[in-house]
A and B are shown apart, each in its own frame.
Chain A
Amino acid sequence: MPDGKTADLEARREQLYVLMLEAERERAVATLLEFAAGSGFQAAVNDVLEPVLTRIGEAWCRERISLAQGYVAGKIAEDLLVAAASSSSDLLLDVKGPVVIGNVEDDYHSLGRKMVSVFLRAAGWKVIDLGNDVFPSDFIDAALEHGARVIGVSAMMLTTAENIRAVRAELDARGLSGRIRLAVGGAVFKLRPELVREVGGDGSAPSAIQAPGLFDRLWAESLEGEAP
């Protein structure tokens, strides 16, 4: 039988899940802020938000939730991170990275990329988000400008995913493939996992919630690649 604290956490998660599905953004954020006021922003992220977003992500994978519900869930998480950043919160923001992310040239499906950004930021990564329809050279210029060791490229369709090859080619041409690692993701990679290697990706994650783990690994690989 769960103790009082565990039961309270479970009730809050359930409440937040329902509010997200009903697109009750303000009430959902208020719930999180109320919890953060008592337990801290880090606990609000780790103990309430992340488990609920994981559940949302699983439901998304099974097509049990709509595009709108996924979008609103991301906005709620974003609102909490903005609130944490604008207060003297205990949440560790921008302590890792930076990393560069964006949708590949010709791709305008931004929802997944935004979810990845939210999870990365919640895990302490500083994220440079270049948006939709990003040219290969722009990814690499931004990575060099900001000192990023990981570039995350998102694509939804097979033909746009194949445009990622141009990012790999640009990395190779500039001699940066050991130093800058390439994360790839998007709906098509779930349907065709073999595409990760085919387009020159160094790794992928099956869902946005697993993106921080992937970026940790790729960042470490980049450092190892430069070790004398």
Chain B
Amino acid sequence: MKDVLGIACGIFQAEMGRLQPRFPRLRTVFLDSMLHMRPATLQERIDGVLEAERPDRVLFIYGDCTPRIVELCRRSGFAKTQGINCCEILLGREEYRRLRRAGAFFFLPEWTARWRDVFERELGFAGGRGVEEMLREVHNHFLYLDTGVTPVPEDTLEDISDTLGLPMSVKMVGVARLEENIAAALETLHAR
């Protein structure tokens, strides 16, 4: 019986495709990952899903992308994966903080393939003007988090590095930590 509604960021859709059989009680809906940039709209979408589905139990496979997620998860019947964003969910708190403080800017599989579109259309850097400078102000390298679900897009990563002028490396993270994270959140949900 699928008695838990998963509300997940679309950034994890491929990874959840692999993990779904491990969580037979979880039925997952995905929201557009670019809503991260518009927290008020993300909040509205979440409210819309909850209103339409009226679930008894909800698991957010999300970072702390809007206050609504954090606040709901302080109530009975709601839980979320640990981590302030998708990178921390995949890496764990200490490793995320270590890499972030070392100057990493993270690329995740879901949006790497459309990185130009993300920077130019979603973030509004017309013709890519200004992206390089903005990134260099706080980052000194790129890090692609390989979840092992889709092939590493070597050519795209090279293109990103050449275009934006920062070195790129690949870190194999797999989906094990995401799986553990979801399992722990589900345990919390059922214990409440």
Contacts and interface: CB of A to CB of B under 8 A. Distances in A.
A133 interface: yes
B126 A68 contact: yes
Contacts of A7: none
Nearest to A23: B129
A66 B124 contact: yes
Nearest to B40: A191
Contacts of A121: none
B31 interface: no
A162 B114 CA distance: 34
Contact of A68 (B64, B71, B101, B124): B124
A157 interface: yes
Contacts of A132: 138
A25 B138 contact: no
B48 interface: no
Interface residues of A, number: 26
B70 A158 contact: yes
Interface residues of B, number: 30
Contacts, number: 66
Nearest to A187: B39
A65 interface: yes
A159 B39 contact: no
A25 B100 CA distance: 29
A187 B67 CA distance: 10
Contacts of B84: 106, 157, 159-160
Contacts of B137: 110
Given A67-B123, A106-B97, A23 B130 contact: yes
B65 interface: yes
Nearest to B100: A108
A3 B133 CA distance: 41
A22 interface: yes
A65 B71 contact: no
A56 to B, nearest CB: 13
B138 A69 contact: no
12 contacts: A63-B38, A63-B41, A66-B124, A71-B134, A106-B84, A108-B100, A108-B138, A157-B84, A158-B67, A159-B84, A160-B64, A191-B39
Interface of A: 22-23, 25, 63, 65-69, 71-72, 75, 106, 108, 110, 131-133, 157-160, 187-188, 191-192
Given A66-B122, A108-B138, A188-B39, 20 more contacts: A23-B125, A63-B40, A66-B123, A67-B123, A68-B119, A68-B125, A69-B124, A71-B134, A75-B130, A106-B97, A108-B100, A110-B137, A132-B138, A133-B100, A157-B65, A159-B64, A160-B84, A191-B66, A191-B67, A192-B67
Closest 5 CB pairs of A and B: A66-B124, A68-B124, A68-B125, A158-B67, A159-B64
